[in-house]
C-alpha cells in the first residue's frame, strides 16, 4: 500500500479502526518510515500529507520516527510544529551525517532541540530504537539512555 490509491484506502481503514479502538478504550497511532514522505500523489502531496489531512485528528495519532523523517530529507521540527497535539510518541533513533543508524547521542540529531517541542506536539512516550546496533546490544541501549538522561529527556 505504498502508492497513493492504496494509502488512501488504508487511511480510511485507519479512521474506522481507530474509532473502534476508541470505543474499546484504546488508541491508534501510525508509525512512519521514509516512504510516506518521498512517495507523492498526482496532486503533489506526500503519503504523510495525505495521512495528516485525511486521518481523523481526534482518532489517528502519529508515532513519529525521527530517524526516518530525517532520512526522507524532512525537517523534523517543521513536521512537529505543523502537528500540534497530534504526535503521541517519537521513535528516537540517531544517525551519522551519512545516514548510518547509531546509538542516541553518537550521531548528528539534536534531540534536545527537537524535544523542546514535546509539549506542543503532545508527545507522551519516547521509544529508543537502533535497528542496526551491534551485539552485544546492552552497551548501545545504555549509551542511548545515558544520553537522553543527560539532555533531560
Q: Is the pLDDT of residue 134 over 90?
A: no
According to CATH, the superfamily of the domain at 4-150 is: Divalent-metal-dependent TIM barrel enzymes (3.20.20.150)
pLDDT per residue as tens digits for the range 57-75: 999 999 999 999 999 999 9
Which of helix, strand or coil describes residue 101? Answer: strand
The Cα 70–Cα 65 span in angstroms is 9
- Burial of 38 (C-beta count, 10 Å sphere; 0-12/13-18/19+): middle
77-116 pLDDT tens trace: 999 999 999 999 999 999 999 999 999 999 999 999 999 9
The percentage of the chain sitting over the pLDDT mark of 90, rounded to a whole number, equals 93
Amino acid at each position: 500500500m505504498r502508492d497513493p490509491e492504496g494509502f488512501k484506502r488504508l487511511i480510511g481503514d485507519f479512521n474506522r479502526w481507530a474509532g473502534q479502538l476508541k470505543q474499546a478504550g484504546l488508541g491508534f497511532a501510525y508509525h512512519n518510515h521514509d516512504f510516506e514522505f518521498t512517495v507523492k500523489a498526482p496532486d503533489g502531496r506526500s503519503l504523510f500529507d495525505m495521512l495528516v489531512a485525511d486521518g481523523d485528528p481526534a482518532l489517528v495519532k502519529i508515532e513519529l520516527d525521527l530517524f526516518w523523517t530525517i532520512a526522507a530529507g524532512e525537517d523534523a521540527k517543521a513536521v512537529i510544529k505543523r502537528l500540534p497535539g497530534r504526535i503521541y510518541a517519537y521513535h528516537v533513533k540517531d544517525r551519522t551525517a551519512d545516514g548510518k543508524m547509531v546509538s542516541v547521542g553518537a550521531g548528528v540529531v539534536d534531540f534536545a532541540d527537537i524535544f523542546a517541542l514535546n509539549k506542543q506536539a503532545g508527545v507522551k512516550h519516547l521509544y529508543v530504537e537502533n535497528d542496526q546496533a551491534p551485539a552485544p546490544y546492552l552497551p548501545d541501549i545504555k549509551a542511548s539512555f545515558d544520553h537522553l538522561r543527560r539532555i533531560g529527556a
